[in-house]
Amino acid sequence: MFKIWLYRLFAVFILAVLISCKKEPHEIIAERTILLYMAANNNLAGNAYDNINQMEEGFRNIDGALIVYAKIFGQSPRIYRISYDNSREIKSAVLKSYPDHDSSDPKIMKMVMDDMQKLAPAKSYGLVLWSHASNWLPGTSKLKTRSFGDDDGRTMDIKALKSALPTNLDFLVFDACSMASVEVLYELKDITPLVLASPTEIINTGMPYHQVLNGLFHDNIPSGLREVAIATYEYYNEKDGILRSATFSLIDMKQLEMLAETTKLLISEMNVKRVRRDGIQRLDLDRTSPISAFDFLDFGQRHLSFEAAKKLEEAIDKVVLFKIYTTHFLGVPLKKFSGLSCYIPDQHQYNYSRYYKSLNWTKKSGFNQLFWWER
C-alpha cells in the first residue's frame, strides 16, 4: 500500500510540473515586437486614426507583433495589438485600457512601455515614437516649447524622454519632427544602437505605415530601416507642392562619442567670435518652428579650414549610415544635407542658453565654447 501511495504521489508531482511548464498563449515569445507610442491628444488625432488604419492594412504575412499605445483626443488611452483589416474602422484587439492620464509624463510612458513588453514578449524590440516634437527644446515651461509629445499642451524634454525609454531596444524610429539633431541623438546614445529620424520637420500625415511595416520587421535591421526611409521618401516624393517633403537619416549611435570628440578638437581651432548663422543651410523649415536648426556639416565647412572640415565630414559619415531627402522641403531648396542638424548658439536667444548648456552634447562636443559672449 505504501508503494502504491508513493507512485500516486509521484504521478501527481509530475502532472503538476507539466501543467506549470505549459505556456499560456500570451507568453509566446515573438521574433520581434514593434512598440509604437502614439501621443495624439492634440491636433494630430485624425492623423493618428488614419495611421492605425494603415497599420491594419499593411499587417499581412508578418512574423511578429505590432503593439500600439494610443492616446487620441476624445478617447481613453489604450493598447492595441494590430491585426489585418482593410476597412476604415479600427478592428484590432484592445489589450489594455487606462483611465485618463498624461501621456507626456515620463513615469506614464515608462509604465506603458513595460506593459507593452509584457503583453507581447519578444526576442527583439523596436520602438516608434509618434507625436509632435521639436528637437532638443525643454518640455512644458513658460516658454511653451516641447521636445517630444503633446498631451493637451503638456510635453516632456529629451532628458525626461531618456529616463522613460526601455534599454533593450534594437532600434528607435522617430515619426516626429526634427529629432535627428546631434543634441537629441547624443542624449539618447546609450539607449539603442540604431535610430531612424528626420533632421527636418515631418509632414503631419506621418510615415505611410501600410508600406513600411515589412521594413520594421526585416531580419537585417539596418537594411530594414533603410527600406522604411526609402518607402517614406518615395511616398512623399510623388506628391506635389509643399507635400513633396521628406528627409530621413539612419544613425549609428555607437559612433556619436567619436563625433563629439572630433567636434571638440575642431572647435578648439575655430575663432568662435566669428561664428555666424548667415548662409548656412537651415533644417527648421516650418515657419512655426520655435528654434533654429542648421545642417551640421555646412556649419563646419563655413567655419573650419578645408582640412578640418574634411575631418568633420569623415566623422559624420561614420555616424550617418544612410540618408535620403527630397530636393525641397516645404518649398525650400535643400542644397546641403549631411543628415544631422545642430543648433548654433545666438546671444539673442538667451532664453534657451541655460538649458542648452546642460545638454550632454554641449558639454562633450565643445559647443559650450560657442557662448563666447558669456565669458
Q: What is the mean pLDDT of residues 134-143?
A: 75
Q: What is the mean pLDDT of residues 231-258?
A: 98
**Dihedral (CA of 248, 141, 39, 331) sign:** negative
Nearest Cα neighbor of 32 from 172, 218, 211 is: 218
Provide, rounded to the nearest whole percent, the portion of the chain with pLDDT above 70. 91
pLDDT digits (tens, 9 = 90+) for 306-320: 999 999 999 999 999
CATH topology of domain 28-254: Rossmann fold (3.40.50)
pLDDT of residue 244: 98
Domain boundaries, the chain: 28-254, 257-318+339-370
In this prediction the pTM is: 0.91
pLDDT of residue 287: 86
Nearest Cα neighbor of 242 from 335, 134, 132, 333 is: 333
Residue 24 has pLDDT above 90, yes or no: no
Residue 135 has pLDDT above 50, yes or no: yes
pLDDT digits (tens, 9 = 90+) for 254-303: 999 999 999 999 999 999 999 999 999 999 999 888 889 999 999 999 99
pLDDT digits (tens, 9 = 90+) for 198-231: 999 999 999 999 999 999 999 999 999 999 999 9
User: Mutual orientation of helices 296-303 and 306-319 as an angle, nearest 10°?
Assistant: 170
